[in-house]
């Protein structure tokens, strides 16, 4: 099932260019309580929500996807975890252009560690990425985004998939330069998630997905998730050995070669097999 937030906090299910308004299904969720459990309330209770959606779907009002505003499919992630240097060809392109890629690209993921992007940087695909530092390079990084579904601490890689709620297309927008990654990747609008959350049951093998990104119609990035250096299960196991993962936490699983600059007026088009496609404007 493809789950999204659209227009004014409406819950939707997307299929075949149509979004069905299933907001009524939210009544199946327990009322949020303060301070409540950590994480995203809807993702935490996805098990309760999905049967309720199935009940209301036959009578749900349809909207054309083209006419709705799509927000981030995860409303309140606790954290966005980034995995650096996870595709060899991207590491090599960075090594070949040290003037642009002043980030640390030497050493593997386990030497570099993970990084965190501020949750406040998150937008959906119908909100423009807004350049905040026009005198600096902003790059696009296309990534498969994994959304955690259950609280996870010190989990084994062999069990990791049972902690995944679903998947989405992620854009890890990045200012190039010498500052800490968390600074350069956490600007408002610099994390895009969309177009919807595809529940994990629909993607049995997320390590075999074609993905690509175009800027103004020109192909920039193209790869397959099979090329990840550290696979998703290992990312979850490793991340959960440092950070407790909560429902709604997002892991951006790394980008491939072909990253490059974006400027106001550009149009990004990103697609990942079995998830869908999204168009994102740059302002």
Q: Could you tell me the smallest distance in angstroms from the CB atom of residue 258 to Mn ion? A: 13
Alpha helix locations (H) across 113-209?
Answer: 181-184
Nearer to Mn ion, 2 or 255 (CB): 255
Nearer to Mn ion, 164 or 171 (CB): 171
Q: Could you tell me the smallest distance in angstroms from the CB atom of residue 249 to Mn ion? A: 16
Residue 43's nearest CA partner among 199, 211, 187 is: 199
Question: In the complex, which residue's CB is closest to Mn ion?
Answer: 172
Residue 119's nearest CA partner among 86, 162, 89, 82 is: 82
Residue with tokens 């993607």: 203
Nearer to Mn ion, 121 or 151 (CB): 121
Nearer to Mn ion, 93 or 141 (CB): 141
Nearer to Mn ion, 46 or 131 (CB): 131
Q: Could you tell me the smallest distance in angstroms from the CB atom of residue 238 to Mn ion? A: 16
Q: Could you tell me the smallest distance in angstroms from the CB atom of residue 244 to Mn ion? A: 22
Tokens encoding 31: 């009322």
Which residues from 165-224 bind Mn ion, rule CB under 5 A? 172
- 250 and 77 in contact (C-beta within 8 Å)? yes
- 40, 141, 249, 266: residue in contact with Mn ion (rule CB under 5 A): 141
Q: What angle do CA 171, 165, 197 make, to 5 degrees?
A: 45
**Collapsing DSSP states into helix, strand and coil, what is residue 244?**
coil
The answer to whether residue 255 forms part of the interface with Mn ion (CB under 5 A) is yes
Nearer to Mn ion, 4 or 256 (CB): 256
- Which window, 25-33, 87-95, 189-197, 249-257, contacts Mn ion (CB under 5 A)? 249-257
Counting residues that bind Mn ion (by CB under 5 A) gives 3
- 167 and 203 in contact (C-beta within 8 Å)? yes
- 93 and 44 in contact (C-beta within 8 Å)? no
The answer to whether residue 93 forms part of the interface with Mn ion (CB under 5 A) is no
Distance of CA 261 to the CA centre of its chain: 20
Q: Would you say the C-alpha torsion 269, 8, 43, 22 has a positive or negative sign?
A: negative
The answer to whether residue 103 forms part of the interface with Mn ion (CB under 5 A) is no
Is residue 240 packed enough to be buried (19+ CB in 10 Å), middle (13-18) or exposed (0-12)?
buried
Q: Could you tell me the smallest distance in angstroms from the CB atom of residue 275 to Mn ion? A: 17
List interacting residues with Mn ion (CB under 5 A).
141, 172, 255
């Amino acid at each position: 099932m493809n789950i999204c937030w659209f227009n004014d906090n409406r819950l939707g299910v997307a299929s075949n260019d149509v979004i069905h308004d299933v907001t009524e299904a939210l009544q199946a969720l327990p009322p949020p309580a303060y301070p409540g459990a950590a994480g995203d309330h809807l993702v935490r209770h996805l098990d309760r929500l999905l049967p309720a959606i199935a009940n209301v779907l036959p009578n749900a009002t349809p909207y054309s996807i083209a006419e709705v505003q799509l927000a981030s499919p995860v409303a309140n992630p606790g954290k966005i975890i980034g995995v650096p240097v996870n595709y060899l060809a991207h590491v090599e392109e960075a090594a070949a252009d040290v003037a642009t890629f002043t980030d640390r690209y030497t050493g593997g993921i386990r030497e570099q560690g993970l990084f965190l992007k501020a949750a406040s940087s998150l937008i959906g695909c119908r909100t423009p990425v807004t350049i905040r530092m026009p005198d600096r390079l902003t790059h696009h990084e296309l990534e498969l985004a994994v959304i955690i579904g259950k609280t996870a601490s010190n989990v084994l890689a062999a069990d990791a998939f049972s902690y995944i709620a679903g998947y989405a297309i992620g854009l890890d927008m990045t200012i190039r330069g010498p500052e800490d990654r968390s600074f350069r990747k956490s600007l408002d609008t610099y994390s895009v998630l969309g177009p919807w959350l595809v529940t994990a049951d629909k993607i049995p093998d997320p390590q075999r997905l074609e993905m690509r990104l175009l800027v103004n119609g020109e192909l920039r990035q193209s790869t397959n998730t099979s090329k990840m250096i550290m696979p998703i299960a290992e990312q979850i196991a490793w991340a959960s050995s440092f950070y407790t993962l909560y429902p709604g936490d997002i892991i951006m699983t790394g980008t491939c070669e072909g990253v490059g600059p974006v400027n106001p007026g550009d149009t990004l088009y990103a697609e990942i097999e079995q998830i869908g496609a999204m168009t994102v404007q740059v302002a």
